[in-house]
């Protein structure tokens, strides 16, 4: 092969290649754009939802989540695996674009250019970066394939598009190195082989391959070597274009839709559900649209959620309902709607996961491998207009699936795509409750109790202050103003075990010299259970009643021992005229107790020589980021050895099972969520379980008795533990 022929190959090849690439690129981009616009038109069928406020905040979080991989990296090894593929892909993509602009458009981005071969210092250094990041990219893909097709984690299920994504990206990575190696082995600059240039070894992977190719006769202008270079160059380009064109038609769509979904995430407080707009006017209509009954009832943002899901299963791996063996999988909750809006077969509950809801101990169920056959989904084609098909009536969503959710927000905490699973479930419950009246019997009893008696226990309002017997507890009606309004809540007012917590809290406030009062019989249920069960009208009625009552009096703080009351008054009452954060602060009792200890107004001195484990309630933890104050109180008590549930604490703590109204419902799975959570908390063999929510107290009282550890493990609220540690008689 003469030098002249070799020069002709490179020069003509570049010209033909450029024409082929840019001509094909236009076609590929047109196909991809058509696919994206098709999906956008589907989203636009959804109901309105305002998501364009506070653009600066959205942009900042977008950068942090997408380019910082913030949520993805929370998932440890899978997060690292995804991150190295992501950053490897970005590095290669940037390098390819820079080279294309430099060579084909003669824009000097990298410095020197010798015969269309980039030799500037920037290019030399970026060659090193590209080769290194390319190795990480390939290693990440191999790791993904090994994990998906060898380990079989329960949270994943395999589809053809998964294999396509791994295969096409893998070929792009490997073929890129072959192209580089063959180029270094065969190309020249002014008659001098590129292989001999001082910068060539910086492309260390390609350089190593070039040595190999030269040793086996595929270098120095070898016809076979040049032929292989041509083959890999065109096949690499074809694979890259196939990858781009397939993005909106495969799992790869998350490359576009997940960042988009992140930008349009909910900026309201995490603990606030979206109210139904113009609720009373909607109810007056002949055919009111309340909640979600069909695909057409979802908002455009929820429909974007469906396509943004990458089916990673992080939500499923932390879902307490799924762990219990119920029919709920947050992942399939979303993917069923994605399939439905694309007109694809829908995964029905009786075939989902191959019924792989094997109930394991808490240290086994998340990581246990399953045979592929046991986990192969079974799909069904549903006839009818997919936009108006009733979701529950046709078994796409089941009663078990919708009502077993504890609204704990673990799925949303884990989801790197910012999908709003809890809002979807509550929207379906709203339709079942307010339109169809198809709710479990215990839900009806709770809602009737709140409507008629002002509490879920259906007990008279005159008994709301029975827990105060023997204590000097002033009411706001008597004082009209106080520093602190102690919001007792229904459970501490009516539940026998929780009454002791209310009494302990009053004693602590008194001993700390806090000016406080309660509403007494004027207090009514905040409506949290009603809202989470879908009865939005009842919730709004309770909210308006309580807000009007509170506005009659003057106070600077509302303090409550109930995580649910705290979240509702702080985050949801402002939607209806509540003045939280304006006229008064809403404080959970663990925050107040930590402050009183810190200020020296309460000084724990009596040792409690026990190993204590703290359970993070969902509604002050994941919903309101209160993690440190309860632990600070425990650490201030002499003798307490604070231990944690390994891997299941703080924002990753499992729910007690009582949220979303489930404290009043029978278990939906093969095991109780409270039993699974108790196992986690017992791993460090504690003597006391510290709690900070009356719902948690109810759930763990039952779990401890059922597990036979009633005498072995004490269950105490933070207020009770602190009171016990103070000097003097309690």
Residue 214 contacts residue 195 (beta carbons within 8 Å): yes
- As a whole number of angstroms, the distance between CA 357 and CA 257 comes to 30
Compare 422 and 184 and report the one with higher pLDDT: 422
pLDDT reported for residue 264: 93
pLDDT reported for residue 353: 34
pLDDT reported for residue 362: 41
- Give the CB-side neighbour count of residue 625, counting CA atoms within 13 A: 4
Name the band, by pLDDT with cuts 50, 70 and 90, for residue 514: very high
pLDDT tens digits, residue range 715-728?
Answer: 999 999 999 999 65
In this predicted structure, the answer to whether residue 103 has a pLDDT above a threshold of 90 is no
Tell me what the mean pLDDT of segment 215-228 comes to. Answer: 81
End-to-end CA distance of the chain: 98
pLDDT tens digits, residue range 588-636?
Answer: 999 999 999 999 999 999 999 999 999 999 999 999 999 999 999 999 9
pLDDT reported for residue 18: 61
Residue 615 contacts residue 691 (beta carbons within 8 Å): yes
Task: Determine the longest span between alpha carbons in the chain, in angstroms.
Answer: 107
- Of the candidates 420, 422, 414, which has an alpha carbon nearest to the alpha carbon of residue 652? 414
Least confidently predicted of 205-219, 322-336, 555-569: 205-219
Name the band, by pLDDT with cuts 50, 70 and 90, for residue 16: low
Tracing tokens 């919001």 back to the chain, one arrives at 487
- The SS3 assignment for 666 reads coil
List the structure tokens of 663: 């404290």
Least confidently predicted of 133-142, 206-215, 699-708: 206-215
Name the band, by pLDDT with cuts 50, 70 and 90, for residue 348: low
Compare 422 and 153 and report the one with higher pLDDT: 422
In this predicted structure, the answer to whether residue 351 has a pLDDT above a threshold of 60 is no
- As a whole number of angstroms, the distance between CA 681 and CA 259 comes to 36
List the structure tokens of 698: 């109810």
pLDDT reported for residue 339: 86
Please list the alpha-helical segments (H only) found in 568-620: 589-598
pLDDT reported for residue 78: 83
Length of the chain: 730
Tracing tokens 């999906």 back to the chain, one arrives at 39
In this predicted structure, the answer to whether residue 709 has a pLDDT above a threshold of 80 is yes
Q: For all residues of the chain together, what is the average pLDDT?
A: 85
Name the band, by pLDDT with cuts 50, 70 and 90, for residue 177: confident
Residue 497 contacts residue 422 (beta carbons within 8 Å): no
pLDDT reported for residue 300: 95
pLDDT reported for residue 476: 93
Kindly report the backbone phi and psi dihedral angles of residue 535, in degrees, each rounded to the nearest multiple of 5, phi listed first: -90, 75
pLDDT reported for residue 371: 35
Tell me what the mean pLDDT of segment 229-256 comes to. Answer: 88
Name the band, by pLDDT with cuts 50, 70 and 90, for residue 190: low
Least confidently predicted of 225-229, 270-274, 435-439, 631-635: 225-229
pLDDT tens digits, residue range 291-310?
Answer: 999 999 999 999 999 999 98
Compare 379 and 225 and report the one with higher pLDDT: 225
Tell me what the mean pLDDT of segment 17-24 comes to. Answer: 68
In this predicted structure, the answer to whether residue 551 has a pLDDT above a threshold of 50 is yes
pTM for the structure as a whole: 0.87
C-alpha pair distances (Å), 305 with each of 68, 155, 278, 419, 434 = 21, 19, 24, 5, 25
Least confidently predicted of 162-176, 342-356, 485-499: 342-356
Q: How far is CA 324 from the centre of its chain?
A: 19
Q: How many CB atoms lie within 10 A of CB 635?
A: 14
- As a whole number of angstroms, the distance between CA 319 and CA 331 comes to 10
Query: Where is 130: in which H helix or E strand?
Result: helix 121-146
Tell me what the mean pLDDT of segment 431-437 comes to. Answer: 92
pLDDT reported for residue 712: 92
pLDDT reported for residue 382: 61
Compare 487 and 130 and report the one with higher pLDDT: 487
pLDDT reported for residue 114: 43
């Amino acid at each position: 092969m003469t030098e002249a022929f070799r020069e002709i190959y490179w020069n003509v090849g570049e010209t033909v290649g450029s024409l082929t690439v840019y001509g094909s690129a236009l076609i590929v981009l047109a196909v991809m754009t058509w696919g994206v616009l098709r999906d956008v038109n589907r989203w636009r069928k959804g109901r309105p939802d305002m998501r364009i406020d506070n653009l600066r905040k959205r942009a900042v979080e977008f950068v942090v989540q997408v380019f910082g991989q913030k949520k993805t990296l929370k998932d440890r090894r899978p997060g690292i695996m995804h991150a190295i593929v992501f950053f490897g892909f970005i590095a290669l993509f940037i390098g390819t674009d820079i080279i294309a602009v430099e060579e084909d458009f003669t824009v000097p981005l990298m410095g020197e250019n010798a015969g269309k071969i980039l030799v500037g210092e920037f290019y030399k250094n970026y060659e090193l970066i590209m080769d290194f990041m390319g190795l990480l990219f390939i290693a990440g893909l191999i790791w993904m394939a090994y994990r998906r097709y060898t380990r079989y984690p329960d949270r994943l299920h395999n589809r053809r598009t998964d294999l396509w994504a791994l295969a096409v990206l893998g070929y792009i990575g490997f073929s890129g190195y072959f192209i580089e190696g063959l180029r270094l082995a065969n190309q020249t600059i002014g008659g001098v082989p590129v292989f001999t240039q001082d910068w060539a070894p910086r492309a260390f992977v390609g350089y190593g391959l070039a040595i190999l190719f030269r040793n086996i006769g595929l270098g120095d202008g070898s016809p076979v070597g040049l032929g292989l270079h041509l083959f890999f160059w065109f096949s690499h380009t074809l694979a890259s274009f196939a990858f781009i064109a397939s993005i909106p038609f495969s799992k790869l769509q998350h490359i576009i839709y997940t960042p988009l979904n992140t930008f349009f995430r909910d900026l309201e407080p995490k603990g606030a559900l979206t109210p139904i707009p113009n609720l009373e006017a909607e109810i007056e209509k002949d055919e009111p649209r309340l909640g979600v009954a069909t695909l057409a009832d979802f908002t455009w943002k929820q429909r974007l959620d469906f396509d943004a899901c990458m089916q990673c299963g992080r939500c499923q791996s932390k879902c307490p309902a799924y762990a219990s063996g119920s029919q709920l999988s947050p992942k399939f909750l979303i993917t069923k709607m994605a399939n439905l809006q694309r007109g694809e077969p829908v995964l029905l509950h009786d075939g989902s996961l191959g019924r792989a809801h094997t109930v394991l101990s808490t240290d086994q169920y998340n990581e246990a491998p399953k045979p592929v056959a046991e986990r192969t989904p079974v799909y069904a084609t549903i006839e009818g207009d997919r936009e108006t098909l009733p979701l529950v009536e046709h078994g796409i969503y089941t009663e078990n699936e919708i009502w077993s959710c504890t609204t704990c927000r673990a799925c949303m905490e884990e989801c790197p795509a910012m999908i709003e699973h809890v809002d979807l479930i509550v929207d379906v419950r709203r339709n079942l409750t307010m339109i169809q009246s198809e709710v479990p019997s215990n839900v009806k009893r709770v809602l009737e109790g709140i409507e008629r008696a002002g509490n879920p226990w259906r007990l008279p309002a005159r008994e709301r202050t029975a827990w105060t017997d023997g204590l000097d507890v002033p009411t706001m009606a008597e004082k009209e103003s106080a520093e602190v309004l102690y919001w007792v809540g229904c459970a501490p007012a009516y539940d026998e075990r929780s009454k002791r917590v209310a009494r302990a809290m009053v004693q602590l406030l008194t001993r700390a010299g806090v000016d406080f009062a309660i509403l007494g019989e004027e207090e009514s249920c905040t409506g949290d259970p009603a809202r989470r069960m879908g009865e939005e009208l009842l919730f709004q009625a309770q909210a308006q009643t309580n807000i009007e009552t509170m506005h009659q009096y003057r106070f600077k703080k509302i303090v409550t021992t109930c995580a649910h009351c705290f979240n509702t008054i702080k985050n949801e009452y402002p939607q209806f005229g509540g003045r939280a954060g304006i006229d008064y602060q809403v404080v959970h009792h663990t925050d107040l107790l930590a402050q009183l200890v810190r200020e020296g107004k309460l000084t724990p001195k009596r040792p409690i020589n026990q190993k204590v484990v703290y359970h993070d309630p969902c509604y002050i933890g994941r919903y309101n980021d209160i993690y440190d104050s309860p632990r600070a109180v425990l650490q201030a008590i002499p003798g307490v050895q604070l231990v944690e549930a390994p891997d299941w604490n703080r924002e990753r703590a499992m729910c007690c099972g009582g949220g979303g109204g489930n404290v009043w419902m029978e278990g939906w799975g093969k095991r109780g969520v409270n039993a699974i959570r108790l196992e986690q908390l017992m791993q460090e063999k504690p003597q006391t379980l510290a709690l900070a929510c009356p719902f948690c107290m109810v759930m763990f009282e039952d779990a401890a008795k059922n597990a036979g550890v009633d005498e072995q493990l004490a269950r105490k609220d933070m207020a009770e533990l602190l009171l016990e540690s103070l000097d003097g008689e309690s």
